[in-house]
Amino acid sequence: MYRENSLSRIKEEKGSWDLVIIGGGASGLGVALDALSRGLKVLLLEKSDFAKGTSSRSTKLVHGGVRYLAQGEVGLVLEALKERGRLLKNAPHLTINQPFVIPLYTYFDRLKYGVGLKIYDWMAGSLRLGKSKFVSKEETIKRLPQIKQKGLKGGILYHDGQFDDARLALAIAQTCIEMGGCILNYARVNKLTKGEDGKINGLVFRDLIGKTNYRISAKSVVNATGVFADKILQMDNPDARKMIQPSQGIHLVMDSSFLGGVDALMIPETSDGRVLFAVPWEGKLVVGTTDTLVKKPKMEPKPLASEITFILETAKNYLVRPPKRSDVLSVFAGLRPLAAPKEGSTKTKEISRSHKVIVSKSNLITITGGKWTTFRKMGEDTVDIHFKNHGLQKLESTSADQHLHGYSEERIKGHLQLYGTDAALVLDLQKQRPELAERLHEGYPYTGAEVVWAVRKEMAFKIEDFLSRRCRILLLDAKASMQMAPKVAEIMAKELEKDEVWITEELEEFNKLAKKYLIK
């Protein structure tokens, strides 16, 4: 429904769009949300599904970045803490206040991390999620039941946010549509168009579902394609310098019993000087991450054996029961769109995580860097450039107070919490059609009604859209996702009016993908 309405508008609209955004991940959606909050006419085009790339593969944290504080990135941390507070207020159905514990094995660590986290608390101001404090050895064990006790002196408890990244992306897309934006997935940009003055005045895109090309006029075009930003920059100018250095981060997902409790573990300094998290999420434990330079960005990056070993070895140093390769239910990799470092530098942890907005000679606006927590501020800064480029009076942004689709302060038990106010509608669908109340897998709560809802209301077109991003089973348990796939395919085919050939092709494609999430 959403998609058909957006395409109808594109066909009917005469005149130019204020902003056409290429990319439907965190940064692109942030730009769309902010532009719409200022009353601009907005079109967003995503060549795959929303958050298909990096934006669905995060550590699931809405955080200020404790480690950035240690690197002296005070401005970045201040900005992120402010945005963290706003996101928890605007999307309470998709976010939680997550307690973390840093285990302490020396008294010096208590001083070092205790002082740092007090500064972190102070910087958050009125948007603070809770006070950090020292907890005894007994309290640390109570909170982290499976932590190694030998030499343990206690722990430091602090608070950060947690969220579901792909569901948040979807909620932003739905909010943008409700605010009057045209938001399309499976719409690939093939060409940028320019006027006689060499300035970009629009683009040509292909609707990959309807197999139709469209030519669009735009005052500004925004390149928000993350790790693929160089491709659009080279579409604009074949001689454009490479601006993105992709850095890979992987996560291992295992049973929650490896840590126990509801608190998360934060290891502040690993052997390579990074931070490692073990975070309870959707009934499982997500452990990561790594920071590995890769040459070329891929839509489905492959975890390296060395990365898997590094996480397992690090976890072994802290957990009573060391996780083995066979314990990993799923492994997923994402690519960070870091600014390309200067010649000779290879340390990714030293590259600033702050975002940058760049304007090309053609007036193409490119947003790079950043992270999920600051997606809205990234959008605001990008839209400011649109006004500056055209010498227009800047309209006031109101995105900081924009409640996101499904907004609900009421917390309901179970996974339907992520649907917010839509949860009641999914349950209604189950009552109307009892066969849709059946579980898709005996070990997980997802039902057929959610598949129908995903197709009708959440712009899902492929099995992967549902199994990876509408529900998160591919990331939580890759084998279970393959077992669920036939039922999902059958329900989706009926809703999308597809035949047996479609089902066969989709299952083949999904199973091939899911195998990449398994450790062999």
pLDDT, tens digit, for every residue of 191-244? 999 999 999 999 999 999 999 999 999 999 999 999 999 999 999 999 999 999
Last residue of a domain, one of 307, 339, 371: 339
258 and 141 in one domain?
no
Judge whether residue 15 has pLDDT over 90: no
Structural domain contains residue 446: yes
Last residue of a domain, one of 131, 161, 191: 161
Structural domain contains residue 45: yes
215 and 183 in one domain?
yes
Domain total in the chain: 4
Of the candidates 384, 381, 402, 403, the residue with the CA atom closest to the CA atom of residue 394: 384
371 and 238 in one domain?
yes
pLDDT, tens digit, for every residue of 435-451? 999 999 999 999 999 99
Here the CATH number for the domain that contains residue 196 is: 3.50.50.60
Tokens of 70: 């240690």
CA separation for the pair 212, 222 (Å, rounded): 22
Here the CATH number for the domain that contains residue 447 is: 1.10.8.870
Residues 6 or more apart from 307 whose CB is under 8 A from it?
248, 250, 290, 292, 333
150 and 220 in one domain?
no
Last residue of a domain, one of 143, 161, 179: 161
**Residue 344 pLDDT level (bands cut at 50, 70, 90):** very low
107 and 222 in one domain?
no
Residues 6 or more apart from 26 whose CB is under 8 A from it?
51, 54, 55, 165, 169, 370, 371, 372, 375, 378
**Residue 269 pLDDT level (bands cut at 50, 70, 90):** confident
419 and 509 in one domain?
yes
Tokens of 375: 């997606």
Q: Which 3 state secondary structure label does DSSP give 271?
A: coil
Judge whether residue 57 has pLDDT over 60: yes
65 and 25 in one domain?
no
Specify the DSSP element, H or E, that contains 168: helix 165-178
214 and 174 in one domain?
yes
pLDDT, tens digit, for every residue of 360-416? 999 999 999 889 999 999 999 999 999 999 999 999 999 999 999 999 999 999 999
Q: How many helices (H) and strands (E) does the chain have?
A: 16, 20
Structural domain contains residue 407: no
Structural domain contains residue 23: yes
pLDDT value of position 92: 98
278 and 155 in one domain?
no
Structural domain contains residue 392: yes
Here the CATH number for the domain that contains residue 259 is: 3.30.9.10
DSSP 8-class letter at 319: B
Judge whether residue 349 has pLDDT over 60: no
84 by Cβ neighbours in 10 Å (0-12 / 13-18 / 19+) ranks as buried
Tokens of 354: 């702050």
Tokens of 217: 């006029």
392 and 419 in one domain?
no
356 and 430 in one domain?
no
Domain that holds residue 95: 61-161
Structural domain contains residue 410: no
365 and 487 in one domain?
no
Structural domain contains residue 476: yes
Structural domain contains residue 409: no
CB atoms within 10 A of CB 308: 17
Own/partner contacts of 208-216, CB < 8 Å, gap of 24 or more, are 208/47, 209/3, 209/461, 210/7, 214/10, 216/10, 216/17, 216/20, 216/43
